């Protein structure tokens, strides 16, 4: 079965630090117990997300950086199913 995906694009004309704070607030809202239970009941396995920048769309994740400050391309994830419930950030 082909899966549909919800893509949400929120432009944030903020500094990197401010964008991280606002993004973390949005991700926290996506982890409300009511929403997680609803998604779990519909067998949605996870929510993948990243904080990108317009100069490198589709590649960067400013939530994850190397010790030297380089941005990593891997998406962050909130696992929803009981057997994989975790937040990777």
Question: Is 1 a member of any domain?
Answer: no
With 0-12 / 13-18 / 19 or more C-beta atoms within 10 angstroms meaning exposed / middle / buried, residue 78 is buried
pLDDT surpasses 50 at 64:
yes
Task: Please tell me the total count of domains within the chain.
Answer: 1
Chain segment 4-47, per-residue pLDDT in tens: 999 899 999 999 999 999 999 999 999 999 999 999 999 999 99
Q: pLDDT at position 83, please?
A: 58
Q: Is residue 52 part of a domain?
A: yes
Q: Is the pTM of this model over 0.85?
A: no
Q: Is residue 46 part of a domain?
A: yes
Local confidence band at 56 (pLDDT 50, 70, 90 cut-offs): confident
Q: Note whether residue 51 is domain-resident.
A: yes
């Amino acid at each position: 079965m082909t899966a549909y995906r919800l893509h949400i694009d929120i432009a944030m004309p903020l500094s990197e630090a401010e964008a991280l704070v606002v993004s973390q607030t949005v991700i926290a809202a996506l982890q409300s117990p009511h929403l997680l239970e609803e998604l779990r009941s519909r067998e949605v396995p996870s929510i993948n997300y990243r904080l990108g920048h317009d100069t490198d769309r589709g590649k960067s994740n400013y939530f994850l950086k190397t010790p030297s400050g380089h941005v990593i391309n891997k998406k962050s994830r909130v696992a929803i199913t009981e057997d994989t419930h975790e937040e990777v950030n």
